[in-house]
Amino acid sequence: MDFGHKTNITIQDVNPSGVNSTVLQANDPMYLMSSNNLVGYENEATNELIDRFPVPVEYENEKGEVCKSQYEMVLSIAKPEIQKLSGSHKVGVHYGKNSGITFVRAGREIGFGNYGYTSSSEPRDRWWGMEVRFGPELDELFGVPINKQSVDHVEKISDDFTEGLLEEELDLHDKFRKQLSHLISGHIRDLMKTISSRGEGALSKSGKKDEVKVLVNQELVKQTSTKTSSKAHAESLNEDEKIAEIISAILDDDSSLTADEAGVIAEEVKNYEVDILTNEWEGFGFLGLKFCYWSN
């Protein structure tokens, strides 16, 4: 299956002093290209290729005949040393903007998003990449409109989508959607198992909580005279909303933790009187939160 060729795009800046040329670097959500726009890693792949495989599928051609074809799935995952940088690092922020599933038709990306498979409450999804490649003959199955700018039949389906129907009773579109949803969901689970299992090793869970207490209280001492909009924000949230936001920020910063472990930490720190901090404090661990709370 032909997926096209690389195209070099150059911007020509014409001014009185001459012409300046800038070659645009590719944005690669899979992070497998050795020429890309990830600052500091422009000439190397920061993800590892996990798998690449064809998926057989049947479709109906213009004559109404059932034909056989295939689409291809490509899976990648961030290298351990890249994931260790955390979500608040500039590299993690870049990965966050590329979090999702890419659909490529005849060598051109026409769809990118989560399509119901991921949630913003799980920031560790940024560390895997998934690409689905297909040819024009499968346009109807993937729901490609006439302008060839999107895919409309790839959303995650519920478990009861085909409830009560035998496999032979499903039409080609239902079989395709069931197959695709099952494959994407299953491989995301497998990728997340690897991502979640990457721990720091030396620090116990209780040690993690103690470290957070020490750091937060140290920051409190430095900032007791300054209050910001974080207090007003905290007062507008109920207990569950506070916990959910803190858990999201903890997982964003430390991808070695599970959601349950982050929940334990969130309960420990939910009422600390700490002023708002910024993501510009790279490498500051838990204190790189986008928000913290005033309890009084």
Position 166 confidence tier, pLDDT thresholds 50, 70, 90: low
Tokens 């213009």, located at residue: 62
Range in 149-158, 170-179, 193-202, 223-232 with the lowest mean pLDDT: 223-232
Residue 100 has pLDDT above 80, yes or no: yes
Domain of residue 150, residue span: 49-197
Q: Mean of the pLDDT values across residues 255-265?
A: 73
Residue 228 has pLDDT above 70, yes or no: no
63 and 157 share one domain: yes
Give the pLDDT of residue 144.
97
Position 253 confidence tier, pLDDT thresholds 50, 70, 90: low
CB 271 within 8 A of CB 295: yes
The answer to whether position 36 is within a domain reads no
Residue 45 has pLDDT above 50, yes or no: yes
Tokens 């005033």, located at residue: 294
CB 269 within 8 A of CB 208: no
Q: Which of 170, 197, 224 is the last residue of a domain?
A: 197
Q: What is the 3-state secondary structure (H, E, C) of 141-183?
A: HHCCCCCCCCCCCCCCCCCCCCCCCCHHHCCHHHHHHHHHHHH
Percentage of residues in the chain with pLDDT exceeding 70? Answer: 68
Q: Which of 139, 169, 197 is the last residue of a domain?
A: 197
Range in 21-25, 78-82, 223-227 with the lowest mean pLDDT: 223-227
Token couple for 285:
């661990």
The answer to whether position 84 is within a domain reads yes
The answer to whether position 14 is within a domain reads no
Residue 43 has pLDDT above 80, yes or no: yes
- State the Cα torsion 200-202-208-211 to the nearest 10°: -120
Q: Which of 165, 197, 229 is the last residue of a domain?
A: 197
DSSP 200: -
Strands 101-105 and 128-134, sheet pairing: parallel
Q: Mean of the pLDDT values across residues 59-82?
A: 96
Rounded to 5°, angle at Cα 177 from 175 and 181: 120
117 and 68 share one domain: yes
Average model confidence (pLDDT) across the chain: 78
116 and 79 share one domain: yes
The answer to whether position 40 is within a domain reads no
Position 91 confidence tier, pLDDT thresholds 50, 70, 90: very high
Q: How many CB atoms lie within 10 A of CB 290?
A: 15
106 and 187 share one domain: yes
- Number of structural domains found in the chain: 2
Q: Mean of the pLDDT values across residues 176-200?
A: 91
Q: Residue 111's Cα: distance from chain center in Å?
A: 15
157 and 220 share one domain: no
74 and 186 share one domain: yes
- Exposed/middle/buried for residue 38 (C-beta within 10 Å: 0-12, 13-18, 19+): buried
Give the pLDDT of residue 172.
94
How far apart CA 147 and CA 176 sit, in angstroms, is: 22
Residue 291 has pLDDT above 50, yes or no: no
- What string of DSSP letters covers 248-272? HHHHHH-TTS-HHHHHHHHHHHTT-
169 and 258 share one domain: no
Positive or negative CA dihedral for 130, 134, 140, 145?
Answer: positive
Per residue in 105-121, pLDDT (tens digit) is: 999 999 999 999 998 88
The answer to whether position 37 is within a domain reads no
Residue 69 has pLDDT above 70, yes or no: yes
CB 89 within 8 A of CB 137: no
Positive or negative CA dihedral for 62, 64, 67, 72?
Answer: positive
Q: Mean of the pLDDT values across residues 158-175?
A: 76
Give the pLDDT of residue 256.
62
244 and 106 share one domain: no
Token couple for 154:
């790839």
How far apart CA 76 and CA 29 sit, in angstroms, is: 10
Give the pLDDT of residue 245.
80
The answer to whether position 42 is within a domain reads no
Give the pLDDT of residue 10.
63
